[in-house]
Amino acid sequence: MRFASILHDGAPMAVAIDGDQAVPLTGIAELGTMTPLSLLRYPSLDRASALPSADLLRRPVVPCPGKIICVGLNYAAHIEETKREPSAYPVLFTKFATTLAGPFDAIPLPPEPEAIDYEGELTVVIGERARRVPRDRALDHVAGYTLANDVSMRDYQYKTHQWLQGKAWDASTPVGPDLVTLDEISEPLTLKTFVNGVKVQESSTELLIFDVPTLVSTVSEFATLEPGDLILTGTPGGVGFRREPPLLLGDGDEVVVEMEQVGRIENRCFAERAR
């Protein structure tokens, strides 16, 4: 099944996407801690309140995750272009819920950073609590997949060896559009990113250095993962900052991240004035 978090007449609601209908989950305002896999498998649906699924106002698929874990340098082609060495352990960093944006929201380009880049990424939504979960049981704790654009302020990212200040700007990370449960998906999956209609990234989940079960198992060793937590699995090669000449995001640019079976997010960039 596919699920989403929307705003309807100003009210937040979680819905199941059923063809051209969006069917509210009874009494559930958004996907997250209140929508574990056990609920998503047998959701209580308010069919009498179904809405047309087109033109819904989409929120981040999980608007307020308890944790957002991001993986860096998880494809060989991206490691190569950044001229870094592969790591034996996943490179991990975090974002905040305030960093997220809806899958079709405009992305603000703040005035301070000078090098703003795209990163299309497969994103994992946790479905059941996980602590010290072995790799072979890790997928039992995954609700499904979605997509993200880990928009990165490169000049800020590389101010120090920690990346947080380049990765956690407000409303910089669109995520969605749907949470697609794993039973709807057959891997491998192909990820593509487009800037103004030109394909800039294409890779397969087969090429992940640390695959989804490994990431869930690894993170769960030190932190309890809860329903709604997100893991952004890393971006493939082709980022703009490492191109010659660089391809940086500017006012009016449109970025699309898509993956067959999972969906497509589409965001226009706009120059934000400092407040």
Q: Where along the sequence are the contacts to Mg ion (CB under 5 A)?
A: 119, 150, 235
Nearer to Mg ion, 144 or 166 (CB): 166
> Can you tell me the distance from the alpha carbon of 7 to that of 155, in angstroms, rounded to the nearest whole number?
35
Within 8 A by CB and 6+ apart from 135, the residues are 213, 214, 217
Residue located via tokens 């699309």: 256
Least CB distance to Mg ion at residue 235 (A): 5
Nearest by Cα to 231 from 134, 123, 150, 151: 123
Nearer to Mg ion, 5 or 235 (CB): 235
Nearer to Mg ion, 150 or 226 (CB): 150
Least CB distance to Mg ion at residue 195 (A): 16
**Helix, strand, coil content of the chain in percent (nearest 5):** 20, 35, 45
Least CB distance to Mg ion at residue 34 (A): 27
DSSP element (H, E) containing 93: strand 91-95
Least CB distance to Mg ion at residue 202 (A): 16
| Residues paired with 198 in a beta bridge | 195
Give the single-character DSSP code of 59.
P
CA separation, residue 120 to residues 10, 181, 228 (Å): 29, 20, 20
Least CB distance to Mg ion at residue 121 (A): 6
Least CB distance to Mg ion at residue 70 (A): 6
Long-range pairs of 83-87 with CB within 8 A, sequence gap ≥ 24: 86/209
| Total Cβ atoms within 10 A of residue 66 | 17
> Can you tell me the distance from the alpha carbon of 124 to that of 229, in angstroms, rounded to the nearest whole number?
8
| Total Cβ atoms within 10 A of residue 230 | 27
Nearer to Mg ion, 36 or 72 (CB): 72
Residue located via tokens 């039973």: 183
Nearer to Mg ion, 33 or 82 (CB): 82
Residue nearest to Mg ion (CB): 150
Nearer to Mg ion, 149 or 181 (CB): 149
Nearer to Mg ion, 7 or 189 (CB): 189
Least CB distance to Mg ion at residue 73 (A): 9
